[in-house]
Structure 1
Amino acid sequence: MELSSDSEKADRRRERETGTLGKLVALLDLVALAEGPMRFTDILSLSDQPRGTLHRQLSHLVEEGLLEVDRDGRYLIGIRLLKLASRSWARNEFRAVAEPHLRRLQEVTGETVHLGVLRGSEVIYLDKVEGRQSVRMYSQIGNASPAYCTGVGKAALSALDDAKLAERIADLEFRPYTEHTLRSAAELLADIRDIRVRGYAFDREEHESGICCVAAPICSDGDHMLAGVSVTGPAYRVTSGKLQDWAPLVVATADSIMTDMRNRMGPKR
């Protein structure tokens, strides 16, 4: 599998963001993923847009209700965008089909269960059923995490064929979130080969220190929709042995979700 250089990855990102829509989406991402409201100067320093162009783009997003400006002149996510996100979540057929299976898995294991969908090189958390003893972790519905260092992400990536997997990996930047994070495409590919053989993935404190999980891939409608389901908990309580014991349950849950999706999306008579 041919791997891309960092310069090639940067070129592809710039190509995606050259169109008007791409620039607006990039601005939305920038503001939405920030830890708090952003001043114009903060956005300007992080974007490649001239001052006048950036001001016009932000004004358009504010006029459409996708961004808002607070009393201190800082930009934050607009109510309209939150409304669209809420509608998307509530009406998502995949989430609705998966929900009872997620709850059953949580009842059996007692730990937090996640449902995530692969989008590009990230996983978007579509649903989360809290464990009996909730643990503070990054994952929240709507949040995105890198696919290469999360159980759900690696499970979903494993369902891709080699050519499409190479395309996704080409866009990855291997940031070391913890001392256990995979550091290169070669390490990720080796892990994915193992995942394909056994049918499930592990996250052993790769994204968050002290957090581990076991995950299985969900593939619906060919590979049009790739996702994963996982059981997650703190490393002091969720041992490697427990993760191994739960693996068949997680795989069975993923299979049940796929079966229900095929039945729901099959030809109507």
Structure 2
Amino acid sequence: MRVDTGTLGKAIDVLDIVASAEEPMRFTDILAVSNQPRGTLHRQLSNLVEEGLLSLGRDHSYSVGIRLLKFAAKAWAGNQFRVIAEPHLRILHDLTGETVHLGVLRGNEVIYLDKVESRQAVRMYSQIGNASPVYCTGVGKAGLSALPDAELRAVVATIKFRRFTDSTLVTPEALLSEIEAIRLSGNAYDREEHEPGIRCVAAPIYSADRSFVGGLSVTGPAYRISTDLLESWAVLVRDAARGIMDDMGARLGPRT
């Protein structure tokens, strides 16, 4: 259960709704999913627009404001994990030629922190900062595999499973069974589970105390990436993840 954080918490909820939407939202759209009274929501939106965190379009729809984008850019630039991981992403990209993603777990979603785009003509439409479900993405399942059992089961209990494709895992039992297999092999796969025609191989990244958990993946279209090719990249992805964790330990660990 979420702790009530008052006015600020309600404003953050509204920001999250608008920022997570695939296109600008009108007041009635936000009202339908915000669980806030009409008057309260109207005040929240007015304040957020006045502060530059949201933008109000001519069609009376709300989208992310310039000020929030500046905050986001500052956060990405100062994110030490992303900086540490970047050379490893580049190497993995050079070895495979396909799109490389870096993400972190946030509840039952994975947030993409960085991306190195494929050299091929057909590319991925994923974006840095976007969120995806943990149960049907390679990075998400890789991150779940690094969680302690109690925390893993707590996260899985919050998932509202949705079938995106015929291959999507749609039960807690199926997901937990796959997590066990990931722990044994060190690799997670997305076998066209989130998007038809898209495959990926991933590996977990985590801090020593598991307070920070994420993943790294190589992703591409199924017509270009056979199952055998995907599996041949598994060790490359594990090596890149291990290199990032080693550098994290050296640069972000406790100083003596």
Alignment TM-score, normalising by the size of structure 2: 0.95
SS at match of 2:233: helix
Match of 1:74 among 61, 65, 82: 61
Q: Counterparts of 2:224 and 2:151 in 1: how far apart (Å)?
A: 36
How much does 1:267 deviate? 3.9
Q: Counterparts of 2:185 and 2:106 in 1: how far apart (Å)?
A: 24
Alignment of 1:244 with 2:196, yes or no, is no
Match of 2:71 among 66, 84, 92: 84
Q: Tell me the alpha carbon deviations over residues 219-240 of structure 1, each in whole angstroms, 9 at most, x when there is no partner.
A: 1141111011111111111111
Aligned match of 1:55? 42
Match of 2:87 among 100, 110, 129: 100
Aligned match of 2:192? 205
User: Which amino acid is 1:185 matched to?
Assistant: P
Aligned match of 1:149? 136
Q: Counterparts of 1:197 and 1:257 in 2: how far apart (Å)?
A: 20
Conserved in 2, the CA contact under 8 Å of 1:201 and 1:215?
yes
How much does 1:18 deviate? 7.4
Q: Counterparts of 2:218 and 2:32 in 1: how far apart (Å)?
A: 39
How much does 1:45 deviate? 2.5
Q: How many residue pairs end up in the alignment?
A: 256
User: Which amino acid is 1:21 matched to?
Assistant: L
Q: Tell me the alpha carbon deviations over residues 58-96 of structure 1, each in whole angstroms, 9 at most, x when there is no partner.
A: 112112221111223221111111011111111111111
Match of 1:218 among 205, 212, 215: 205
* Comparing 125-134 and 183-192, the one that deviates more: 125-134
Q: Counterparts of 2:56 and 2:29 in 1: how far apart (Å)?
A: 14
Q: Counterparts of 2:161 and 2:125 in 1: how far apart (Å)?
A: 18
Structure 2 portions without partners, runs of 5+: none
Q: Counterparts of 1:131 and 1:93 in 2: how far apart (Å)?
A: 24
User: Which amino acid is 1:120 matched to?
Assistant: G
How much does 1:266 deviate? 3.0
Q: Tell me the alpha carbon deviations over residues 177-227 of structure 1, each in whole angstroms, 9 at most, x when there is no partner.
A: 111111111110000000001111010000111000000000114111101
How much does 1:268 deviate? 3.7
Evaluate the alpha carbon distance shift between residue 86 and residue 204 of structure 1 in structure 2; reply closer, same or farther with a 3 A threshold: same
Q: Counterparts of 1:220 and 1:84 in 2: how far apart (Å)?
A: 25
SS at match of 1:135: coil
Alignment TM-score, normalising by the size of structure 1: 0.91
Q: Counterparts of 2:208 and 2:81 in 1: how far apart (Å)?
A: 12
Aligned match of 2:173? 186
User: Which amino acid is 2:112 matched to?
Assistant: Y
Q: Tell me the alpha carbon deviations over residues 219-266 of structure 1, each in whole angstroms, 9 at most, x when there is no partner.
A: 114111101111111111111101111101100100000001101023
Conserved in 1, the CA contact under 8 Å of 2:117 and 2:124?
no
- 1:41-52 to structure 2, matched below 5 A, reads 41-52=28-39
Q: Counterparts of 2:220 and 2:171 in 1: how far apart (Å)?
A: 26
Evaluate the alpha carbon distance shift between residue 20 and residue 261 of structure 1 in structure 2; reply closer, same or farther with a 3 A threshold: same
Alignment of 1:232 with 2:240, yes or no, is no
Conserved in 1, the CA contact under 8 Å of 2:18 and 2:24?
yes
Q: Counterparts of 2:121 and 2:107 in 1: how far apart (Å)?
A: 29
- Taking only aligned residues, the RMSD between alpha carbons, in angstroms, comes to 1.5
Q: Tell me the alpha carbon deviations over residues 149-193 of structure 1, each in whole angstroms, 9 at most, x when there is no partner.
A: 000000010001110001111211111111111111111000000
Match of 1:114 among 75, 87, 101: 101
Alignment of 1:172 with 2:185, yes or no, is no
Structure 1 portions without partners, runs of 5+: 1-11
Aligned match of 1:64? 51
Q: What percentage of residue pairs aligned between the two structures are identical?
A: 63
How much does 1:32 deviate? 1.3
